[in-house]
Structure 1
Amino acid sequence: MKYQTRKKALILLADGTIFYGKAIGKEGSAFGEVCFNTGMTGYQEVFTDPSYFGQLMVTTNAHIGNYGVNNEEVESDSIKIAGLICKNFSYNYSREAADASLEEFFEKNNLFGISDVDTRALVSYIRDNGAMNAVISTDVDNIEGLKKQLAEVPNMEGLELASKVSTKEPYYFGNENAKYKIAALDIGIKKNILRNFAKRDAYIKVFPYNATFEELSAWNPDGYFLSNGPGDPQPLVEAQQLAKTVIEKNLPLFGICLGHQVIALANGVSTYKMHNGHRGINHPVKNLKTGKGEITSQNHGFAVNREEAETHPDLEITHLHLNDNTVAGIAMKNKNCFSVQYHPEASPGPHDSTYLFDEFIECLK
């Protein structure tokens, strides 16, 4: 029945290109930067990952929703993507552990999506022309009006989004009698990072994006962590200042994704917006210290300037992305500080890189 009543919908890209499909559930419009994720599984974790805030997510896997949703498989308290674009949306699901359908999850989170799209053509177009702003809408007869609204959506470059997803008040995670204490700056933190720390006998206090070193250090932690998150790292001056202070005092510091970029900026190494970013769960990375390869989960649209990192006297590049040789990890030569551009906590994705959490715990000792 749903298939007969579904409304026609479109995707309008910032350069005027249009793709058509059908609305999933409700009618309306959603704006954001269009990007794609190549993962075959893990759609629920992707949709709830704060790093995707403000993005229209194109999923390259042909079927989305076929295994429903599970209340435990979330990376934050709500859906963070701006909208979904997919090929086949499954209203029915088959999985013992599912709590509800993806459609019900979208309704609860008031999310608008569009399916029956030629996602192969769309992804191919983004790959060639780069990630750009777009609108998905059921207002198919109002293209000029949509173009005007779309022109007012800010560009991801220079956009500070951490404040939109960060906790408002500090909170604790894990066992308060754990051996180690970690102060984490929430610039878009995923739950599985906290689970990975807690599993390694650490108690975590999570602080808002603009918390100062004084606030974090007052808790007397054994180490400091800068989380993943959305948007451009350059406007995050408070986080950069925090990283500078921790580095100056030579306290243990670990960063993931946006946190990695903040650590680079704190060292005077610039970041840049990538043509279309890395988003998926099978990205190959080489650990330059061990010579081993890792299959990794990635989600970022910005990267660290490789040339500047290579010539920086205090930094060494520890990991490289094998598809395009971009910087995937750095460490400071004489300080207790390292970071990676990818997601060792995965969720979704492989667990090749969880050793990085063990390395950080070793730093705390």
Structure 2
Amino acid sequence: MKTTLKITGARIFDGNRWHEEADLVVENGRVASIGPQSVSVEASETVDARGQLLVPGFIDLQVNGGGGALLNEQPTLEGIQRICQAHAAFGTTAMLPTLITDTRAVTRAAIAAGIAARAANVTGFLGLHLEGPHLSVARKGAHDPPLIRPMEANDLETLLACMQSLGSLMVTLAPENATEDQVRALADAGVVISLGHTGASFVTACAYAEAGASCVTHLFNAMSGLGHREPGVAGAALALGRLNVGLIADGFHVDPAVMGIAIRSKQGPGRIFLVTDAMSTIGTDMTRFSLNGREILRHRGRLTLADGTLAGADIDMLSSVRFVHKGLGLPLEEALRMASAYPADAMGISGRKGRLLPGTDADFLLLKPELKLSSTWIHGEEVVSLGR
């Protein structure tokens, strides 16, 4: 039986442009139309959203935890559900729960949990992001050095075998510990390969992009920097149009001035998109937690190891959007695209997510004009309501 939802009275951004005095019509979880309020549409449910902004839901491609759960410490279906629920309260409607470098056993458990989450249609679950273990020890960041290792034949087989069951899979790796042939095989199977935690040269980064890498993980962090004689991975991220690039917009991982320079200089069609790199603290009052047996401290918006090394981020997606809009002065439309359309493009899912066009999933947010969340909707169902 067809069910129809109509959201009326909001100013609607479809990912491309604004619609004034229009209604969003949803049928069976998908966008049916955005049309003038003067057109009569019979609906099973009508929501009056006068004074609100209606925008595409956010897509987070790097999120380690939330709601007190960390995928590394709780690599289970329940852990994934908890993370997805926590971030829905901050506007994230689709995500890749992210596993940081860990043991083979934990990696297997996380993959099994991801497959179970997809089978169970966990709300907000898009797939997995495996950040490691095939990284550079020299650019380890907060990753545990003894757990970093080269990609072996059985690792490649595991990734290829789970791809279809997961639906979407991103893998962050370094040329130091994975070959071009391995990257090519994964990319040919539909895995999104992201270069990260690497000291590779610009020439090497270009070669891996040619082999099939299409993303770069948390720009400027744990990678060879942009030099005037050696552009490094950071330079490749900005210069190569085929690369999409994740950015942590918390003001700690990258200075705001450098964020602005990067956004203005990025060569397209690839784009810079927002990621949170969030840990278990989101939605909680936690002040510390454990990762691979090491204590992570939370203090004034920063998460660090005891030696001060940044260890993930303490920010949500809506706060990231506000940061680049209000802090960097980006137009609101572009800030929203960085959290929705561009990550969808990076994952190759723009036909169904990231924009509110006929036939796409009805994943959207109602925001107050000051960019505070009123409600989160996934597949046309209200999953978070903070009051309108």
**Is the shorter-chain TM-score for this pair beyond 0.5, marking a shared fold?**
no
Which is strand-richer, 1 or 2?
1
TM-score, normalization by structure 1: 0.28
TM-score, normalization by structure 2: 0.27
